[in-house]
Structure 1
Amino acid sequence: MYKLPKSHFWHGRIDSKTDRNSFYFHQAIEFLGTDEVPVEGSPFAILGFECDEGVRRLGGKPGAAEASNEIRRHLADLPYHLGDRKTIDTGAVMCKGDAMEKAQRELGEHVERLLQSTIPIILGGGHETAYGHYLGVRRFAGPEAKIGIITIDAHFDLRDAEPPNASSMFRQILEADANSGVLALGIQPLANTRTLFNKAEELGVRFVLAEEFAMGNIQQAQSVIDAFCGEHDAVFLSLSMNALSSLYAPGVMAPSPFGLEPAIVRQLLWHIVANEKIISFDLCEVNPELDEHGKTAKLAAYLLAEMLAAFH
């Protein structure tokens, strides 16, 4: 079910009511339905995906469905460093009951519509968000386009898809779509069984282990990213907050003691979104019910603001 945007999530301090260089996000944000966005200027279009049914199917604690609004609240009070580029809140797609697949299809319809003239920013939700995101990108790009997915995550998300869940979507995509590819950054051996590593090899998933970033090999990863983007016609980015160390991101379904440092993720985001092949982005797996004083939602908002400012 689609819901129009609500302005009451966006409020904060005001330094000036007229000088755009002094604005915060809550002052710059605009509110439009997905069928009302402008056709010029390539604005950012924020769309929530209020769904954690995929997490529930894995036995995880519900709560991620509320994350998009928590991230909005934290983003609202950050300085707006995007110049004249517009950011539009376009509302949210909500999963009713256990109808996750229907919600994913609806998300795809709205993403396809937004891609006509904007850069969609989808705020999940569990990581099942990425499947609905993919459906929209595929519909927009057409059946013959080579679609790349860069995921920053501790997990491969290649689990069995019966039923589909928050850890099956990349397997669903790769097994059904020969013109798709996945690059996974931040993979952790203790978050994936040997069977999942074997499945990644079988499906041609490229990956960089989290420990390689800990050893300072970010330049090598950047080269892998550039090569991957060069092989695809369009690429979208999916960030699962459980890729980050649980010291900084405790409010997720599967906290990662050996996760990535925020500074590393920020560098990765800077590099990825500077590539002109990137057409959209999703951020998933924040669970306000598990968070400590909003720490994870706040970090998500900071990473989102950094990404928006660096986008090509």
Structure 2
Amino acid sequence: MMTTQQIKIYGIPMDLGQNRRGVDMGPSAIRYAGLQSRLQRLGCQVIDSGNLTVPVVEEIDKIPLANGQAHHLNVIAEVCQHIYETAAHCIEVDERAIFLGGDHSIAIGTIAAILERPQKVGIIWVDTHADFNTPQTSPTGNVHGMVVSSLMGLGPDVLHIGKHHLQTEQIVMIGIRDLDSEERVALRESGIKVQTMRDIDEHGMAAIVQDALNYLGDVDVIHVSFDMDSLDPSVAGGVGTPVPGGLSYREAHLLMEMLADDGRVQSLDVVEVNPILDEHNHTAEVAVDMIASLFGQRII
């Protein structure tokens, strides 16, 4: 269990990867929900390093784009480079880190840095969406739907951050249930290990997580990228792209508990909390619950 360890928290108030305002307030909402005190009660030494600077764009692009384009591409690339440099410093000093989004485009920077680790690295991607579009396949042009493809060296060069591309055998996706048509074809052809909601329904979360950990059996360090829209909207409704049929509260907790038991998780993204779309900060509170399970909280 990941207790009695120093954990750094970084807020990344990025909202340019999608087209609904409010997700930039996600880091503040999660902090307000008591993240630091919750982790401290688990015996963790917590250092909140504040927020990374993200440019403010007065109006998020919503106009349709010509095929092959993406909204706010260059600004997002600049922010992800800054994220990469910050996360790379965490790696140099061997810190455990939590990165609070913001939209999921922040993972272009965090995961690019994680791939620089000298150890073998694995990624567990928990999301409704595979984020495997490119500007050519995306129906929206939103970069938060292009994260994994960018990390694998597809799509615009400006989003290829860091020295190493993500390899197929380094990632497992859990909870996928909403794909665009061309994205679905590309994902099938990619060879990425994908555990959909149907797989979870048929086999149960415990078997799915164990299978993922076995698949990543030879890696030394795991990074978890957790999109709050992986949860069912009845559990966490304050997200930008809610889709019915998601993870239950207990399924998500079990996932985090089993990852904690495994002992290899070194870093975490928690993304897509949107307080504007939430009620009484409930989704941020659920996010804190999930983080606590990953860092050692147990029923007994």
Range class of TM-score, shorter chain: 0.7 to 0.9
Secondary structure of the residue that 1:54 maps to in structure 2? coil
Equivalent position to 1:218, from 182, 189, 205: 205
Does 2:213 align with 1:245?
Answer: no
Deviations 1:168-189 (A, max 9, x none): 010111236264532110111x
CA contact (8 A) 2:17 2:142 kept: yes
What is residue 157 of structure 2 aligned with on the other side? none
What is residue 255 of structure 1 aligned with on the other side? 242
Equivalent position to 2:7, from 5, 19, 44: 44
Equivalent position to 2:145, from 167, 178, 185: 167
CA contact (8 A) 2:206 2:255 kept: no
1:125-204 → structure 2 map (5 Å cutoff): 125-139=102-116, 141-142=117-118, 146-161=120-135, 165-175=143-153, 177=165, 179=167, 181-188=170-177, 191-204=178-191
Indicate the structure whose relative CO is greater, using CA pairs within 8 Å and at least 6 residues apart.
Answer: 2
Distance 1:157 1:89 in 2: 29
1:46-125 → structure 2 map (5 Å cutoff): 46-55=9-18, 60-76=19-35, 78=38, 80-83=40-43, 85-97=44-56, 98=72, 99-115=75-91, 116-125=93-102
CA contact (8 A) 2:17 2:104 kept: yes
Q: Which amino acid aligns with 1:166?
A: H
Q: Which runs of 5+ in 2 are unaligned?
A: 57-71, 155-164
Change (3 A) 1:65 1:114: same
Distance 2:14 2:146 in 1: 15
C-alpha displacement of 1:109: 1.0
CA contact (8 A) 1:242 1:285 kept: yes
CA contact (8 A) 2:39 2:46 kept: no
Aligned length: 261
What is residue 3 of structure 1 aligned with on the other side? none
Q: Which amino acid aligns with 1:183?
A: V
Q: Which amino acid aligns with 2:148?
A: F
- Aligned-residue Cα RMSD (Å) equals 2.2
CA contact (8 A) 2:17 2:76 kept: yes
Q: Which runs of 5+ in 1 are unaligned?
A: 1-40
Secondary structure of the residue that 2:104 maps to in structure 1? coil
Change (3 A) 1:208 1:149: same
Q: Which amino acid aligns with 2:81?
A: R
Q: Which amino acid aligns with 1:44?
A: I
Distance 2:95 2:252 in 1: 24
C-alpha displacement of 1:269: 0.8
What is residue 68 of structure 2 aligned with on the other side? none
C-alpha displacement of 1:206: 0.8
Deviations 1:11-70 (A, max 9, x none): xxxxxxxxxxxxxxxxxxxxxxxxxxxxxx741111111101001xxxx21211111011
What is residue 278 of structure 1 aligned with on the other side? 265
C-alpha displacement of 1:221: 0.6
C-alpha displacement of 1:133: 0.6
> Relative to structure 2, which stretch is displaced further, 275-284 or 251-260?
275-284
Q: TM-score, normalised by structure 1?
A: 0.77
C-alpha displacement of 1:80: 4.0
Q: TM-score, normalised by structure 2?
A: 0.80
Distance 2:15 2:218 in 1: 32
CA contact (8 A) 1:175 1:203 kept: no
Secondary structure of the residue that 1:235 maps to in structure 2? strand
Secondary structure of the residue that 2:110 maps to in structure 1? helix
CA contact (8 A) 1:187 1:208 kept: yes
Deviations 1:176-221 (A, max 9, x none): 6264532110111xx1134322211222211111133234522321
CA contact (8 A) 1:52 1:125 kept: yes
CA contact (8 A) 2:236 2:283 kept: yes
Distance 1:205 1:175 in 2: 14
Secondary structure of the residue that 1:117 maps to in structure 2? coil
Q: Give identity over the alignment, percent.
A: 22
C-alpha displacement of 1:281: 0.6
Change (3 A) 1:157 1:90: same
